[in-house]
Structure 1
Amino acid sequence: MIQRRNFLISGLLTTVMAAATRPAQAAESVALPAPDPSKLATDAGFWSGVRDLYDVDRSTANLENGYWGIMARPVLETYVENIQRVNRQNTVYARKSFDADFAAVRDRVAGALGVSPEEIALTRGATEALQTLIAGYNKLQPGDTVLYADLDYDSMQYAMGMLESRRGVTIKTFAIPEPATREAVLETYRKVLAETPRAKLLLLTHLSHRTGLVMPVREITAMARARGVDVILDAAHSWGQLPLDMTDLGVDFAGFNLHKWIGAPVGLGFLYIRKGRLADIDTHMGDKDWPADDVRSRIHTGTLNFAAALTIPAALDLHQAIGVTAKHARVSHLRNYWVERVAGIDAIEILTPNDPALHAGITSFRIKGKVSKDDNTATVNRLRDEFKVLTVRRAGVAAGQCIRVSPAVYTTEAELDRLVTALTAVTAA
């Protein structure tokens, strides 16, 4: 199984890389140069080869890839093989071999992130990871304050709100300004922290699922730490879309997805607790399967999808073969492609800054004056039904609801042209 997976991925990606980087007259034996990420964003040959790894229904232009990421064909084939293997061997496999295989998967994920395996535990997604960290954070005292912003994810907001009854803390919320700029974002966090002397915990989203805004995490975390405030980072959308260095970010607690921009099967993620901070998160539901000094005691998921977990290395193989720098360049290019083409439409408000440090592939827009659920649902429905372009309505933004556009590495410029045509017609009506 593993040999087949490696053969599929390495063979397909070698072909893609060769097509993108080899001069037409070069012999097959010539050593290939490393792809230049600065040119990969628009290299038609390279991205055509990458697209060929994905079996996609093109009847509708799917610009809602923020929900979860399609598995590429070699990853999907590995998943099917794993399903068949686990189903065939059943509890013989589960009792005899899975623990060692699962530990190896954990090691692989940690290596890909650049952290120690002793700092992560696999979960069923970023939501489970982050809710576990929030609920288990035990340094709060009655009267302390916890902070979160309007752009943070709903389920994480719920968990932060629960701390009011569970820990006796005060909840303070705030809004990220529109239009967002780096300095405006930093000033917002600076002001909130300064005005909240009893703040002890801050929820911070690296890349917002609502608007695609990328937060300056390192700077905000440093501000918080200087005031004795811990940060729990929601990295559900950033890992796989952005180059990411945990040491540089400086956070001690974080939750990640594997089924969004990494492209593993749905229902996979992990939590991160920096060495030296484990005692600040409670063991999960009194877990006794692992020692209290083992990060795996902080989450107990019960029986999980064995085959899905075993497929994580295949997804990481492909992710790393394409390269996160190349993926970031591509989705950023696709974002800029459609944003630049609707810039002249006065009725369109782009909520995500053009500053390349503040966005990746996800960007949201609002039609001026249309801030309600009904308004945005109607627009999403019209884009889907009349123009065959799939987007999604996003609520929770303080200034009003909006519509999110999330291209993927397999998205074509022609599909974004359909979005531009659709928005031109919708705003002209």
Structure 2
Amino acid sequence: MTGSSRRDFLRDSAVIGAASLLAPATMVASTTSDGAPDVPGATAATTGLTPHPGPLHEVAQDEAYWKKVADQYRVTNAVTNLEAGYWGLMSQPVLAKYHEHIDRMNRENSYFARREFPALWRSARERVAQFVGAKPSEIALSRGATEALQALISQYNKVGAGDTVMYADLDYNAMQWAMNGLAKSVGAKVATLDIPEPATHANILEAYTRALDANPRTKLLLLTHCNNKTGLLLPVKDVATLARSRGVDVVVDAAHSFGQIPLSMDALGADFVGINLHKWIGAPVGAGAMYIREGRLDAIDLAHADESAPPTRIDSRLHTGTVNFATMMTIPDAIDFQQSIGIPQKGARLRFLRDRWVKAVRDVPGVDVLTPDDADLAGAITSFRLHGRGTSQANAAIARTLLEEFGLFTFQRNGIAKGDCVRVTPTLYNTPADADKLASAIKTIAARG
């Protein structure tokens, strides 16, 4: 997107009032033979789903209800997919809206893009802000958490020569590289720490306390709320409070957080956050957001000397070029669908599926489950090793055996201080039978030694 067209998109305009992207609907979605909604233009409102009103521990086990939810997804039966952590499928109602938006922008072209899209873009940003508990002025839409976080890190201007930036082994590799790049560009040094294994709330705080005490010139600390390696939920707000008491700014990688568990920006307690909208919120691939708390824009430089938005606005800190119009337009549809289920209810269901397989293998000889059972430290994602083998080859072999012999798709993760592991990520279309199938397969492989 050129500077002039971007100004057209982002400036306050009275051309068209911001409005909801979803028209009210009363029809109930019909389904295809495989149980997926098949209504052109179907929205979350047409699925008949509403948040289950019961106690969460009972809601999580109401299989009739979750069958209705699973029916909103059209999923391959070639494998049992337990690798939902890569990106989240769009539900059929959201996919239908995405197709509708693609058709519209392709049909109406620049006439639509210049006249009507700016208001829809602002509406999408407002929905994201509402969803995460922020002000619209604190949110810039991006193509993913990586883009948002790379901007926050590389443009952070409060670190200089001789200062320190810090990250942990469980932080996302691309964000570690961004921290390394920032340090190199200003002559700062890099300090790292390893998250304890097994992790507890107390030993995590102790590890960060020791690391910060040992590096008193730390200016920027990277924290991953839910990491993509083991799924551990870091007590970010407590660590951020600890860092702030030492004059350290915190940037939070929340790529896996929003949509997986109930959460708000206040609960994270950080001034700078990158999030994904195409993982647990189920928007089209290529959707994310950057958060900068009000009053902290001065810490983040303009993106590439950007002049398309005033320097007093967050838009000037992230310049993505021409956006995918249909993707941006589908974000509110995806949020609507998630809210038709309820994030607390969804979180309880995901945790139930996770606990089902973990409890079945936790005490099996040779099985090391890396993610704790503490309700505050785990969500859907959990990883394991067999017989303490942390080599890349060993874990690639386990993932391959799970797929080829048992039809279970998982994924190997690396970069952990104590070695590689296999990551398991169930989602809304998975069932207790899928969890049981995984537990049985892990027991069988572990017994082979």
Q: Which amino acid aligns with 1:79?
A: Y
2:386 maps to 1:354: no
2:63 maps to 1:44: yes
Q: CA deviation at 1:91?
A: 1.3
Q: Which amino acid aligns with 2:268?
A: L
* 1:130-175 Cα deviation digits (max 9, x unpaired): 0000001001110000000000001000000001221111000110
* 1:161-216 Cα deviation digits (max 9, x unpaired): 00122111100011011111111111001111111110111000001110010011
Aligned residue pairs total: 414
2:269 maps to 1:259: no
Q: CA deviation at 1:255?
A: 0.2
* 1:57-101 Cα deviation digits (max 9, x unpaired): 133110000000000000000000011111111111112111111
Q: CA deviation at 1:414?
A: 1.0
2:213 maps to 1:194: yes
1:137 to 156, 168, 189: 156
Q: Secondary structure at the match of 1:421?
A: helix
Question: In 2, Cα distance between the equivalents of 1:5 and 1:140?
Answer: 52
Aligned equivalent of 1:3 = 23
2:349 to 312, 330, 335: 330
CA contact (8 A) 2:49 2:340 kept: no
CA contact (8 A) 1:348 1:368 kept: yes
Q: CA deviation at 1:374?
A: 0.8
Aligned equivalent of 1:25 = none
Q: CA deviation at 1:14?
A: 3.0
Distance 1:379 1:119, change over 3 A: same
Q: Secondary structure at the match of 1:410?
A: coil
* 1:323-377 Cα deviation digits (max 9, x unpaired): 1101110111111000011123211100000111100000000012321111111
Q: Which amino acid aligns with 1:40?
A: V
Q: Which amino acid aligns with 1:359?
A: A
Distance 1:265 1:382, change over 3 A: same
2:300 to 281, 305, 308: 281
Aligned equivalent of 2:408 = 389
Question: In 2, Cα distance between the equivalents of 1:188 and 1:374?
Answer: 29
1:410 to 409, 422, 429: 429
Q: Which amino acid aligns with 2:127?
A: R
Question: In 2, Cα distance between the equivalents of 1:173 and 1:211?
Answer: 18
Q: How does 1:21-36 map to 2 (within 5 A)?
A: 34-36=53-55
Aligned equivalent of 1:295 = 314
Q: CA deviation at 1:4?
A: 6.8
Q: Secondary structure at the match of 1:201?
A: strand
Q: Which amino acid aligns with 2:23?
A: Q
Q: CA deviation at 1:245?
A: 2.2
Aligned equivalent of 1:23 = none
2:193 maps to 1:174: yes
CA contact (8 A) 2:152 2:300 kept: yes
Aligned equivalent of 2:30 = none
Question: In 1, Cα distance between the equivalents of 2:224 and 2:295?
Answer: 23
Task: Give the ranges of 4+ consecutive aligned residues of structure 1 lying more than 4 Å apart after TM superposition.
Answer: 4-7, 10-13
Q: CA deviation at 1:249?
A: 2.4
Q: CA deviation at 1:6?
A: 8.3
Aligned equivalent of 2:93 = 74
Aligned equivalent of 2:333 = 314
Question: In 2, Cα distance between the equivalents of 1:100 and 1:299?
Answer: 19
Q: CA deviation at 1:15?
A: 5.0
1:235 to 254, 257, 267: 254
Q: CA deviation at 1:288?
A: 0.7
Q: CA deviation at 1:379?
A: 0.9
2:233 maps to 1:214: yes
Question: In 1, Cα distance between the equivalents of 2:370 and 2:199?
Answer: 8
RMSD in angstroms over aligned alpha carbons?
1.4
CA contact (8 A) 1:16 1:50 kept: no
When normalised by structure 1's length, the TM-score is 0.94
Distance 1:234 1:12, change over 3 A: same
Question: In 2, Cα distance between the equivalents of 1:287 and 1:9?
Answer: 37
Aligned equivalent of 1:14 = 48
Aligned equivalent of 2:223 = 204
* 1:257-301 Cα deviation digits (max 9, x unpaired): 000000100010000000000011001001111000010000000
Q: Which amino acid aligns with 1:213?
A: L
Distance 1:35 1:88, change over 3 A: farther
Question: In 2, Cα distance between the equivalents of 1:234 and 1:75?
Answer: 26
CA contact (8 A) 1:206 1:217 kept: yes
CA contact (8 A) 1:179 1:351 kept: yes
Q: Secondary structure at the match of 2:253?
A: strand
